[in-house]
Amino acid sequence: MYPYQSEFELGPVRLNVAGLDRMSRFYQEHLGMDLLASDEKSRTLGVPGRPLVILNQAEDQVETQASNGIYHFAILLPSRAALGNVLRHFIRMQTPLIGASDHGYSEALYLEDPEGNGIEIYRDKDQSEWTIYEDGTIKAITIEMDANGVFAAADKPDQVLKLEKDSVMGHFHLSVTDTQKAQEIYGQALNMKDKTPMPTATFLASGSYHHHVAANRWSGSHLLKRKPGQVGLESISFIYQDHALYQAALDRFAAISDFKSVTQEDQVNEFVDGFGIKIRLEIK
* pLDDT value of residue 249: 98
Question: How buried is residue 53: exposed, middle or buried, by Cβ count under 10 Å (0-12/13-18/19+)?
Answer: buried
Question: Across residues 221-233, what is the average pLDDT?
Answer: 91
Q: How confident is the model at residue 59 (pLDDT cuts 50, 70, 90)?
A: confident
Which CATH number characterizes residue 192's domain? 3.10.180.10
* pLDDT value of residue 61: 63
Q: What letter does residue 23 receive in the DSSP assignment?
A: H
Query: Rounded to whole angstroms, how far apart are CA atoms 103 and 13?
Result: 23
* pLDDT value of residue 60: 65
CA angle 101, 73, 17 (to 5 degrees): 130
Query: Rounded to whole angstroms, how far apart are CA atoms 60 and 230?
Result: 5
What pairing do the DSSP bridges indicate for beta strands 69-77 and 143-144? Answer: unpaired
- Is 4's pLDDT higher than 90? yes
Q: Which amino acid is at 13?
A: V
| Total number of domains constituting the chain | 1
Query: Rounded to whole angstroms, how far apart are CA atoms 140 and 53?
Result: 27
Mean pLDDT of the chain: 95
* pLDDT value of residue 92: 96
SS3 180: helix
Sign of CA dihedral 261, 36, 44, 74: positive
Structural domain harbouring 180: 3-283
73 closest CA partner among 181, 275, 232, 180: 232
What is the per-residue pLDDT across 267-278, written as a single tens digit (0 to 9) for each?
999 999 999 999
- Is 62's pLDDT higher than 60? no
- Counting residues of the chain whose pLDDT is more than 70, the rounded percentage is 98
- Is 63's pLDDT higher than 80? no
CB 263 within 8 A of CB 30: no
- Is 65's pLDDT higher than 80? no
